[in-house]
Amino acid sequence: MIADFFRRLTAAKDEPLDASDARLALAALLVRVARANDEYTTSEVAKIDVILARHYPDLDATGAAALRAEAEEIEASAHDTVKFTRSVKDAVDLDDRMEVVEALWELVLADGERDHEEEGALRLIAPLLGINDRDSAHARQRVEARLS
């Protein structure tokens, strides 16, 4: 299953990922950022589930948790952040990638603190997704405004 996902992800350069693979890729990036500081907490798990359920309205709490659990396996198998993220960039439209960066900022800022390892992971991932620093900063500001 995991090998099939990576095969589809790397083969998708010329066409967008199908909806289920795109969901899994987003969820795996959320998990990657949450695990960046080696403290993958229950509050981060819960926040990922909330983000996924909000981003994908057809998912209930159980569906979001199942997607996150599958993403945890994918993330653990994706040893190369650069290659994995570039594959997502090649397969996902720019507007959707902007939403991914905003969701990543939401996760990083959820507890009211900007953990430097999580923020560092996001700052690595955003440009690899084709999102420049200015647009990432705007995404962060939108999230901060929503959270305040």
Angle 100-44-92 (CA atoms, 0-180°, nearest 5)?
15
* Per-residue tens of pLDDT for the chain, all 148 residues: 555 655 665 565 555 566 777 788 889 999 999 999 998 999 999 999 999 999 889 999 999 999 999 999 988 888 778 776 876 787 778 888 898 899 999 999 987 778 899 899 999 999 999 999 999 999 999 999 998 8
**Could you tell me if 21 and 9 are in contact, meaning their C-beta atoms sit under 8 angstroms apart?**
yes
Q: Which fold has domain 18-147?
A: TerB-like (1.10.3680)
Q: Which amino acid is at 61?
A: A
* Number of residues that this document lists for the chain: 148
Domain boundaries, the chain: 18-147
- Round to whole Å and give the CA distance between 121 and 133: 13
- Round to whole Å and give the CA distance between 42 and 27: 16
